[in-house]
């Protein structure tokens, strides 16, 4: 705009001079062009754009043009057109509130000047003749017209550039979003296969190790095997933590509710806590409200996971004293509010570190705790699981004295029988039992890994069952055609025909005759349980196979 101004000004100067228009404008016009050149210099070379704009508008608009109006013909000249151009200039160049101030000032000034020219024509200098008036109006019209067209074209051009940039940015954002979604999907696939790939060999390690513990009499071998078991279990728990964490992060963690036996969870926790009690020499006490109902509706697996996290922390971060696990319930109509609290006499938590407690990968008191194993994920996962169940983890702690972690969940009551009504003391129950027997029961186990089949058969070798094996889906179909089985264990991932396809084939040939089919899977991802049940499996057992769960499953489905 300023460049157009300079060219226009010079053009006006030349025509005024050449045509010998005597309107006393030569000096003010030269001054205007001079000021414009200085301001262009300030704005571009000195980067003082705003100052230059304000100076341009005030100097030209408020001083130079009024004086040119008075000395150059008033309204009998092209000056009113210039007034208009200046106001357009001001509205584009000046920013913020100052724009409205200066534009209003100019409007008032120019209207005042026109009124003044009407009332006091004697103070104005006019052109000598009409030809000059027409000349001046003509050249002003051309110049102001060119300026206005340039300004509007330029603004439209800038607008189209901004529009194109915005379109490109939007396209890029869309592409970035697609990339992120693809990466996230790839992460899920990676996690699913990692879960499968790692859990399978871990299962073999744990099961084989269990066989060593059962069969070896050698003290030193048993000692080594105990260490293998401890390390493998802790590795498995780290893998599980990382998988859980990734699942929660990617929003794929679902709460799966079903009917469950509250006493069974508490018994399991008591078993695990007693092992920890023996390992650490700490005192462990469990106080359970006898008025709690026995069967409720909720996600027992996740509640157990939260409780085990808290209890394992309590044992980890307590050197002497005791760990107390309390469970209380308040019934209201159909629901029971169950409060769980784990209290320890351990190291406690500094008030200033309380905020870091639930952050992922954060551990407190690092120097003091450097010998204690942990990833800093447990409490984060626990709290987020509780959030998914509409609860939250709360902590009361005194540094150096101990901590109490507690939470409350609301569960629907399914069976109001009191929790201890048929309670048997499980204190003497051995961790590894192999007393289960089902003489003559026909079992088929299908897995493409010979090692997995070996593990499965070894776990059940004292059960007196007839265990047939098949290394593929088609082999399994052949076996079922020839013999009636009481239960079939079918691996998920197999080459050629996988577990689901094999089940479909068995159903298609109508040779199952109500035989329960249990899916064996290392794929621990969420939603799988419903998926397998929907696919027609009776139940599923996750690998690495825990002997206790396998036994429970056999008791459940072989009972008749």
Count CB atoms within 10 A of the CB of residue 46.
Answer: 10
Q: Give the side-chain half-sphere CA count within 13 A for 520.
A: 26
* The one among 50, 254, 375, 449 contacting ligand ADP by CB under 6 A: 375
**Spatial contact of 489 and 515, defined as CB atoms under 8 Å apart:** no
Distance in Å, CB of 100 to ligand ADP, minimum: 58
Query: Encoding tokens for residue 367?
Result: 């120097």
Quick one: 295 or 384, whose CB is closer to ligand ADP?
384
Does position 380 interact with ligand ADP (CB under 6 A)? The reply is yes
Site for ligand ADP in 388-427 (CB under 6 A): 403
SS3 content of the chain, % helix, strand, coil (to 5): 55, 15, 30
Dihedral of CA atoms 344, 350, 354, 358 in degrees, nearest 10, equals -60
Indicate whether 349 belongs to the interface with ligand ADP (CB under 6 A).
yes
> Which of 364/497 has CB closer to ligand ADP?
364
State yes or no: residue 386 binds ligand ADP (CB under 6 A): no
Beta carbon nearer to ligand ADP, 371 or 513: 371
- Answer whether 420's CB lies under 8 Å from 294's CB: no
Q: Which of 35, 102, 306, 314 binds ligand ADP (CB under 6 A)?
A: 314
Residue pair 142/119 in contact (Cβ under 8 Å)? The answer is no
**Residue selected from 36, 364, 518, 550 as contacting ligand ADP according to rule CB under 6 A:** 364
| Under rule CB under 6 A, residue 345 binds ligand ADP | no
Of 12, 23, 200, 313, which one interacts with ligand ADP (CB under 6 A)?
Answer: 313
225 closest CA partner among 211, 239, 238: 211
Q: Is 276 in the site for ligand ADP (CB under 6 A)?
A: no
**Binding pattern for the stretch 178-197 against ligand ADP, x by CB under 6 A and - elsewhere:** --------------------
Q: Is residue 374 a contact point for ligand ADP (CB under 6 A)? A: yes
Shortest Cβ 328–ligand ADP spacing (Å): 20
Asked whether the beta carbons of 450 and 458 are under 8 A apart, the reply is no
Please choose, out of 110-118, 167-175, 207-215, 339-347, the segment that lies near ligand ADP by the rule CB under 6 A: 339-347
Q: Is 166 exposed, middle or buried (0-12, 13-18, 19+ CB in 10 A)?
A: exposed
Residue with Cβ nearer ligand ADP (213 or 369)? 369
237 sits near ligand ADP (criterion: CB under 6 A): no
Concatenating the DSSP letter of every residue in 26-40 gives: HHHHHHHHHHHHHHH
| Residue with Cβ nearer ligand ADP (238 or 471) | 238
Least distance from C-beta 385 to ligand ADP, angstroms? Answer: 12
Contact residue for ligand ADP among 135, 377, 414, 480 (CB under 6 A): 377
Q: Does residue number 504 form part of the binding site for ligand ADP (CB under 6 A)?
A: no
* HEC string for 122-172: HHCCCCCCHHHHHHHHHHHHHHHHHHHHHHHHHHHHHHHHHHHHHHHHHHH
Which residues, 6 or more positions from 452, have their beta carbon under 8 angstroms from its beta carbon?
Answer: 200, 203, 204, 491, 520, 543
Orientation angle between helical segments 499-508 and 473-482, nearest 10 degrees: 30
Identify the residue among 135, 347, 393, 506 touching ligand ADP (CB under 6 A).
347
Element (H, E) at 520: strand 517-521
Residue nearest to ligand ADP (CB): 374
Q: For ligand ADP, which is the closer residue by CB, 29 or 342?
A: 342
Q: Which of 187, 196, 363, 505 binds ligand ADP (CB under 6 A)?
A: 363
Q: Does 539 bind ligand ADP (CB under 6 A)?
A: no
Q: Which one of the spans 198-206, 368-376, 469-477, 531-539 is the region binding ligand ADP (CB under 6 A)?
A: 368-376
365 is a site residue for ligand ADP (CB under 6 A)? yes
Q: Structure tokens of 264?
A: 């069974």
**Which residues, listed in sequence order, are joined to residue 284 by a DSSP beta bridge?**
323
Cβ contact 364:356 at 8 Å: yes
If one asks whether residue 378 binds ligand ADP (CB under 6 A), the answer comes out as yes
The binder of ligand ADP chosen from 237, 240, 254, 369 (CB under 6 A)? 369
- The single residue among 69, 260, 317, 456 that binds ligand ADP, judged by CB under 6 A, is 317
- Binding segment for ligand ADP among 115-123, 249-257, 313-321, 324-332 (CB under 6 A)? 313-321
Out of 8, 346, 473, 544, the residue judged to bind ligand ADP by CB under 6 A: 346
CB-based contact 407:392 (threshold 8 Å): yes
Q: Given the structure tokens 């209890």, which residue do they identify?
A: 311
- Does residue number 379 form part of the binding site for ligand ADP (CB under 6 A)? yes
Q: How far is CA 179 from CA 34, 161, 168, 191, 264, in A?
A: 56, 27, 16, 18, 46
Binding site for ligand ADP (CB under 6 A): 313-314, 317, 344, 346-349, 357, 363-365, 369, 374-380, 403
């Amino acid at each position: 705009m300023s460049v157009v101004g300079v060219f226009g000004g010079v053009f006006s100067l030349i025509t005024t001079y050449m045509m010998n228009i005597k309107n006393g404008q030569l000096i003010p016009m030269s001054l205007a062009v001079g000021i414009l050149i200085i301001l262009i210099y300030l704005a571009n070379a000195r980067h003082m754009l705003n100052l230059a704009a304000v100076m341009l508008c005030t100097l030209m608009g408020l001083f130079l043009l009024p004086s040119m109006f008075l000395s150059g013909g008033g309204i009998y000249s092209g000056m009113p057109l210039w007034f208009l151009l200046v106001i357009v200039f001001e509205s584009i160049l000046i920013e913020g509130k100052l724009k409205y101030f200066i534009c209003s000032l100019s409007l008032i000034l120019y209207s005042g000047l026109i009124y003044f020219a009407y009332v006091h024509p004697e103070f104005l200098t006019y052109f000598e003749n009409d030809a000059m008036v027409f000349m001046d109006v003509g050249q002003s019209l051309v110049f102001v017209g060119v300026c206005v067209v340039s300004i509007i074209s330029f603004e439209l051009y800038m607008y189209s550039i901004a529009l194109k940039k915005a379109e490109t940015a939007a396209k890029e954002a869309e592409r970035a979003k697609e990339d992120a979604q693809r990466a996230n999907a790839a992460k899920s696939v990676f996690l699913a296969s990692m879960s499968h790939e790692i859990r399978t060999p871990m299962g073999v390690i744990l099961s084989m190790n269990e066989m060593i513990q059962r069969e070896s009499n050698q003290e030193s071998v048993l000692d080594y095997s105990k260490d293998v078991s401890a390390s493998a279990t802790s590795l498995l728990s780290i893998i599980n933590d990382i998988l859980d964490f990734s699942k929660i992060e990617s929003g794929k963690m679902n709460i799966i509710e079903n009917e469950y036996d509250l006493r069974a969870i508490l018994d399991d926790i008591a078993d695990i806590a007693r092992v920890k009690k023996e390992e650490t020499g700490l005192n462990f006490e469990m106080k359970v409200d006898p008025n709690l109902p026995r069967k409720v509706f909720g996600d027992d697996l996740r509640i157990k996971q939260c409780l085990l996290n808290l209890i394992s922390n309590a044992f980890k971060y307590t050197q002497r004293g005791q760990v107390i696990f309390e469970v209380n319930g308040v019934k209201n109509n159909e629901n029971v509010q169950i409060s769980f609290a784990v209290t320890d006499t351990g190291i406690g938590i500094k008030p200033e570190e309380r905020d870091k407690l639930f952050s992922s990968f954060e551990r407190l008191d690092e120097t003091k705790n450097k010998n204690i194993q942990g990833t800093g994920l447990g409490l984060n996962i626990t709290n987020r699981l509780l959030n998914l169940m509409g609860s939250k983890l709360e902590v009361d702690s005194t540094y150096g004295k101990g901590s109490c972690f507690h939470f409350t969940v609301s569960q629907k009551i399914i069976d109001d029988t009191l929790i201890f009504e048929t309670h048997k003391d499980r204190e003497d129950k051995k961790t590894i039992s192999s007393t289960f027997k089902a003489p003559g029961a026909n079992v088929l186990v299908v897995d493409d890994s010979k090692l997995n089949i070996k593990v499965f058969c070894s776990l059940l070798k004292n059960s007196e069952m007839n265990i047939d094996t098949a290394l593929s889906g088609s082999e399994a179909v052949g076996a079922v055609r020839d013999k009636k089985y009481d239960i079939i264990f079918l691996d998920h991932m197999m080459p050629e025909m996988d577990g689901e396809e094999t089940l479909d084939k068995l159903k298609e040939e109508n040779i199952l005759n109500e035989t329960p089919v249990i899916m064996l899977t290392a794929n621990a991802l969420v939603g799988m349980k419903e998926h397998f049940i929907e696919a027609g499996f009776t139940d599923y057992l996750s690998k690495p196979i825990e002997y206790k769960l396998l036994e429970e499953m056999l008791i459940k489905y072989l009972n008749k």
